[in-house]
Amino acid sequence: MLPKVVVYNAVSLDGSIQLRSPDLGTYYGLAPVWKEDATLAGSETILAGEKEAPPERPADLGPWKVDPDDRRALLVVPDSRGRIRFWHYLRNSGYWRDVVVLCSRSTPASYLEYLRRRRIACIVAGARKVDLRASLEILRSDFGVRRVRVDSGGVLNGLLLRESLVDEVSLLVHPELVGGVRPKTFFSGPAMPEGHGRLRLFKVQKVKGGLVWLRYRVVH
């Protein structure tokens, strides 16, 4: 069984995620409506914060203590190539109760050992790339994840949408135009297959500062 998956992005009126002045307070202020058990973020999104991470300390190797009453979400990140090496910083950020890394059978053994030594939970699913459907099923069965909010860029959003793994698309539309020859949008990659990609609007809410919150159910 799959958890409910919500793709949530802040966008300009022309669909760009490269906003000049995103209202992050409102964006994250609306996010608790889903009561997510896990936040699914793309590896590129996470790697963008690497420069902020301090060096790892011996104490960061664990064991990591998780309060069973902690209701914060898990941070879940696909990292089949084993590029993220600052999980200590993400664990200590205070936003999530712990992290889960999604890998594939092509993930370097040295990286899997790196995760094991730090007692970081890892799901291995897929041959060359992460099998997102299988990973979501394991998150539901083994980690009790019932609701997932995707906080990522267009690549991961596109993969999830093309594999029919998304239940809701939610956009916080900002009153600005970004333009550009190759704009970064919340959905990128190959075109959707014939008969896929249909949405049904079920909520429109005007928010402060001219923001509009649009919520769509994905028609499977």
Domain CATH number, residue 209 = 3.40.430.10
Whether residues 45 and 3 fall in one domain: no
pLDDT above 90: residue 108: yes
Average pLDDT, the chain: 93
Residues 50 and 89 in one domain: yes
Do residues 47 and 115 share a domain?
Answer: yes
Percent of the chain with pLDDT over 70: 100
**What pTM was computed for the model?**
0.93
What domain range includes position 181?
Answer: 1-35+153-220
The average pLDDT across 155-183 equals 93
Detail the DSSP E strand segments found in the chain: 4-12, 38-40, 74-78, 98-103, 121-124, 147-150, 168-174, 199-206, 212-218
Within 10 A of 92 (CB to CB), how many other CB atoms are there?
A: 12
pLDDT over 90 at 88, yes or no: yes
Residue 190, pLDDT > 90, answer no
Cα dihedral: 111, 115, 121, 127 (round 10): 10
Q: Do 113 and 78 reside in the same domain of the chain?
A: yes
pLDDT score for 112: 97
Is the pLDDT confidence value at 204 over 90? yes
What residues are paired with 16 via a beta bridge?
185
Please check whether residue 96 is in contact with residue 75, taking contact to mean a CB–CB distance below 8 angstroms.
yes
Tokens of 55: 């060096």
Domain edge (last residue) among 145, 169, 200: 145
Q: What percent of the chain shows pLDDT beyond 90? A: 80
pLDDT band at 153 (very low <50, low <70, confident <90, very high): very high
Clarify whether residues 51 and 136 are in a common domain: yes
Does the CA dihedral 98-102-105-106 come out positive or negative?
negative
Same domain as 140, residue 42: yes
Instruction: Dig out the tokens for 138 from the structure.
Output: 């394991």
Q: Is the pLDDT of residue 182 over 90?
A: no
Q: What confidence category does residue 58 fall into, taking pLDDT thresholds of 50, 70 and 90? A: confident
Using alpha carbons, select from 189, 145, 157 the residue that is nearest to residue 8. Answer: 157
Same domain, 55 and 131: yes
Assess whether pLDDT exceeds 80 at residue 194: no
**What is the number of domains present in the chain?**
2
- Looking at 145, 163, 183, the residue that finishes a domain is 145
41 has a pLDDT exceeding 80: yes
State which of 49-63, 64-78, 111-125, 193-207 shows the largest mean pLDDT: 111-125
Neighbouring CB atoms inside 10 A of 25's CB total 9
In the structure, what pLDDT confidence band is assigned to residue 59 with cuts at 50, 70 and 90? confident
The torsion angles phi and psi of 31, rounded to 5 degrees, stand at -55, -35
Structure tokens at 178: 């970004």
Q: Which of 79, 143, 74 is nearest to 114 (CA)?
A: 79
Report the SS3 class of residue 198.
coil
Domain boundary among 117, 145, 173: 145
- Tell whether the model's pLDDT for residue 63 goes beyond 80: no
Residues 22, 95, 105, 147: what is their CA dihedral angle, to the nearest 10 degrees?
Answer: -80
In whole angstroms, give the CA distance from residue 36 to residue 168: 13
Residue 191 pLDDT: 78
Clarify whether residues 113 and 31 are in a common domain.
no
Specify whether 51 is located in the same domain as 132. yes
Residues 189 and 210 in one domain: yes
Please give the distance of CA 172 from its chain centroid, rounded to a whole number: 16
Q: Is the pLDDT of residue 66 over 90?
A: no
Closest CA to 8 of 46, 39, 48: 39
How many whole angstroms separate alpha carbon 21 and alpha carbon 26? Answer: 12
- Indicate whether 5 and 51 sit together in one domain: no
> Are 15 and 73 within one domain?
no
pLDDT at residue 180, rounded to an integer: 83
